[in-house]
């Protein structure tokens, strides 16, 4: 009798669990100031205490692989294999009436964020079906970026805060403050310009921050500058905005109609539908679409250096390709990226550049000496010079670093030969590159914190003839050269950058 009573209680509580089932499609939407919403979809199926399904949030689509509890108190863990990285999203919560109250951490070390989800119709927010990638072919070169692109991008300084007024005033600053004269021309809007929904014809739209992209392009063009934009081959961008998946040709036409001159195309949400080996075909689709748009548009591949992009970047019509993950405004991040590019030198050439990511110069996380190293290293690497600071508000020192014409001339050298490391001893490295007209650039980098006397033998830098002249591009003065080598005291975290002429 007692056993029967216990069984009845268990059966009743199981029934009450089932009555309050988590099964269904749930949406947690947080309004953003740009008029869009940050959306997280939970497509859940509950069977007794087991919960399965998917979580889709910003660029990520997780499969629920672990779950515990009941509607009164549950935990679901979604996982996603992203190349070599296993990503996890953990939500703890409970059903309260018709709402799911949950808490999660954006990163493992971040504080808990609370979200409330409501039921939405099945299928809403579902990951779109996968389209098979096209067969590979060679997209013809678009004739652009004969030297590494120079300009500005909104992400490093403004991230989601970029808007029409910021872009206009940055363009004003660039046109006025000597940067345009120094060669900077592209004003690139990064992620978070996109509207939440496409229009009735499937055209991509802008959000509140960008009321009229065509008018903005006209404005930027009126300053003698060019406008860049950002999208993704996936359904979502990295920040979770609308991507170009399934609309590649249409979006390329829209960009061309707006007057866009540069597209940064960021892998992000594409990882949910394609593997890394399919990347080339996926990028080729946009390469073809840009060409079909009829407008000359620089094609910038942003996929963090995965799948040896430097080997196939030119074949998809790419003018530049990211070789690494995202840069941060720290000495550690900048040097780890910059000094790690040696092996990629053979892949840089006019029209096709390795991109170790945008500049952090002027963003405040490094000293002026360190920013001079950043500028010198990127110029030695023939890297795109895309400033990432607030051009409206720079110290004279930062302005001087970004606009040093003799340093920029190294970056922009017509031969486009990326520097290689010619010697290394502990924290001291010498890099060199041949320049057009028989000159050379030689950079003595001191990665240690204390000043150090460094030496370079001209012949080690590939200089066979006797140098006639060597100019220090930061002190803007000729240096004395005698004999077969050169030595100088290089400040801690600093550089001596020379242009050496032999005729
Ligand atoms: C990725 C890119 C960044 C930036 C952000 C925007 O992280 O690598 O450069 O474009 O996305 O969301």
Residue 372 in domain: yes
Residue 5 lies in a domain: no
Over residues 433-446, mean pLDDT: 97
Q: Do residues 271 and 324 share a domain?
A: yes
Ligand 1 atom nearest 325 alpha carbon? 8
User: Considering the domain boundaries, does residue 143 fall inside one?
Assistant: no
Question: Distance between CA atoms of 184 and 190, rounded to whole angstroms?
Answer: 17
293 and 209, same structural domain?
yes
In a domain, 265, yes or no: yes
Residue of the CA atom closest to atom 5 of ligand 1: 238
CA distances in angstroms from 265 to 38, 298, 378, 391, 435, listed in the order given: 21, 11, 21, 24, 31
- Say whether both 407 and 435 belong to one domain: no
Mean pLDDT for 428-452 is 98
Q: Which CATH number is 219's domain given? A: 3.20.20.70
290 and 433 share one domain:
no
Give the single-character DSSP code of 130.
P
Q: What is the pLDDT of residues 58-89, one digit of tens each?
A: 999 999 999 999 999 999 999 998 888 899 99
Beta strands 186-188; 226-231: pairing state: parallel
Q: Is residue 139 part of a domain?
A: no
3-state secondary structure of 459: helix
Task: Quote the tokens at residue 454.
Answer: 């460094």
Distance CA 394, CA 401 (A): 11
Helix, strand or coil, per DSSP, at residue 478: strand
311 shares a domain with 177: yes
Domain boundary, last residue among 120, 139, 160: 120
What Å distances lie between residue 324 and 130, 339, 352, 383, 437, CA to CA? 27, 12, 16, 13, 32
Name residue 104's beta-bridge partners: 91, 113
Q: What 8-state DSSP symbol labels residue 328?
A: -
Instruction: For residue 46, give the CATH number of its domain.
Output: 2.40.128
Distance from residue 346's CA to the centre of ligand 1 (Å): 26
Number of domains in the chain: 3
Q: Assess whether 211 and 309 both reside in one domain.
A: yes
What's the CA-to-centroid distance between 84 and ligand 1, angstroms? 19
Whether 34 is in the pocket of ligand 1, judged by its Cβ within 6 Å, is no
Rounded CA gap, 159 and 92, in Å? Answer: 29
Find the radius of gyration of the CA atoms of the chain.
Answer: 27
375 and 425 housed in the same domain:
no
**CA–CA gap between residue 287 and residue 260 (Å, rounded):** 15
Tokens of 492: 């801690």
Which ligand 1 atom lies nearest to the CA of residue 190?
Answer: 10
Over pLDDT 90: what percentage of the chain? 92
Please check whether residues 270 and 364 belong to one and the same domain. Answer: yes
> Which numbered atom of ligand 1 lies nearest the CA of 230?
10
Band of the pLDDT at 1, cuts 50, 70, 90?
very low
- Same domain as 55, residue 90: yes
In a domain, 9, yes or no: no
Q: 426 and 401 in one domain?
A: no
pLDDT tens-digit map of 97-108: 999 999 999 888
Final residue in a domain of this structure, among 362, 388, 411: 411
Residue nearest to atom 1 of ligand 1 (CA): 238
**Alpha-carbon distance 366 to 401, whole Å?**
13
- Burial of 459-490, coded b for 16+ CB within 10 Å and e otherwise, reads eebebeeebeebbebbeeeeeebeeeebeeeb
Query: Predicted confidence band at 20 (pLDDT cuts at 50, 70, 90)?
Result: low
Distance from the CA of 326 to the center of ligand 1, in angstroms?
A: 7
Instruction: Note the helical H segments in 259-318.
Output: 279-293, 309-312
pLDDT at position 85 is 87
In a domain, 496, yes or no: yes
- Any ligand 1 atom below 6 A from CB of 191: yes
Does residue 237 surpass a pLDDT of 60?
yes
Q: Do 228 and 376 share a structural domain?
A: yes
Cβ-proximal residues to 267 (8 Å cutoff; 6+ apart), any chain: 232, 233, 234, 279, 302, 303, 304, 306
**Concatenated DSSP letters of 60-73:** EEEEEEEEEEETTE
Which domain covers residue 493, as residue numbers?
420-501
Domain contains 128: no
Q: List the catalytic residue out of 266, 355, 357, 411.
A: 266
pLDDT for res 16? 40
Query: What are the φ/ψ torsions at residue 472 (nearest 5 degrees)?
Result: -85, 115
Active site residue 266: yes
Which domain CATH number covers 482?
A: 2.60.40.1180
Same domain for 329 and 453, yes or no, is no
Which of 377, 411, 445 is a domain's end point? Answer: 411
């Amino acid at each position: 009798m007692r056993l029967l009573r216990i069984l009845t209680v268990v059966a009743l509580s199981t029934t009450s669990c089932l009555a309050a089932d988590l099964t269904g499609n749930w949406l947690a939407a947080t309004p953003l100031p740009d008029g869009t919403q940050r959306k997280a979809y939970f497509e859940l199926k509950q069977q007794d205490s087991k919960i399965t399904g998917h979580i889709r949030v910003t660029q990520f689509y997780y499969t629920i692989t672990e779950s515990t509890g009941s509607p009164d108190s549950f935990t679901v863990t979604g996982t996603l294999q992203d190349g070599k990285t296993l990503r996890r999203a953990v939500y703890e919560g409970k059903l309260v009436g018709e709402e799911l109250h949950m808490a999660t951490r954006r990163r493992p070390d971040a504080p808990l964020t609370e979200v409330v989800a409501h039921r939405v119709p099945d299928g809403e927010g579902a990951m779109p079906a996968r389209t098979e990638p096209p067969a590979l072919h060679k997209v013809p070169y678009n004739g652009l970026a004969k030297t590494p692109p120079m300009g500005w991008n909104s992400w490093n300084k403004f991230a989601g805060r970029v808007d029409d007024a910021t872009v206009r005033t940055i363009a004003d600053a660039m046109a006025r403050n000597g940067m345009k004269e120094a060669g900077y021309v592209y004003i690139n809007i990064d992620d978070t310009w996109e509207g939440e929904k496409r229009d009735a014809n499937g055209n991509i739209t802008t959000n509140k921050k960008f009321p009229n992209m065509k008018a903005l392009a006209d404005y930027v063009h009126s300053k003698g500058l060019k406008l860049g934009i950002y999208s993704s081959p996936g359904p979502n961008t990295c920040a979770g905005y609308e991507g170009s998946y399934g609309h590649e040709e249409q979006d390329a036409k829209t960009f061309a109609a707006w007057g866009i001159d540069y597209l940064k195309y960021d892998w992000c949400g594409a990882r949910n539908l394609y593997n890394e080996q399919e990347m080339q075909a996926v990028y080729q689709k946009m390469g073809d679409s840009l060409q079909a748009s009829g407008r000359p548009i620089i094609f910038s591949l942003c996929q963090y250096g995965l799948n040896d992009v430097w080997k196939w970047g030119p074949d998809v019509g790419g003018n530049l390709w990211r070789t690494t993950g995202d840069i941060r405004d720290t000495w550690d991040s900048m040097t780890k990226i910059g000094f790690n590019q040696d092996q990629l030198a053979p892949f840089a050439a006019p029209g096709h550049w390795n991109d170790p990511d945008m500049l952090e110069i002027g963003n405040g996380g490094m000293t002026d000496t360190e920013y001079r190293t950043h500028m010198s290293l990127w110029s030695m690497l023939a890297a795109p010079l895309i400033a990432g600071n607030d051009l409206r508000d720079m110290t004279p020192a930062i302005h001087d670093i970004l606009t040093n014409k003799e340093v920029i001339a190294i970056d922009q050298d017509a031969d486009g030969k990326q520097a290689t490391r010619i010697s290394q001893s502990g924290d001291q490295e010498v890099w060199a590159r041949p320049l057009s007209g028989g000159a050379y650039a030689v950079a003595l980098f001191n990665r240690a914190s204390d000043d150090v006397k460094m030496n370079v033998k001209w012949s080690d830098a590939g200089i066979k003839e006797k140098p006639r002249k060597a100019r220090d591009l930061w002190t803007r003065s000729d240096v004395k050269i005698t004999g077969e080598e050169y030595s100088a005291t290089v400040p801690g975290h600093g550089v001596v950058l020379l242009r050496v002429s032999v005729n």
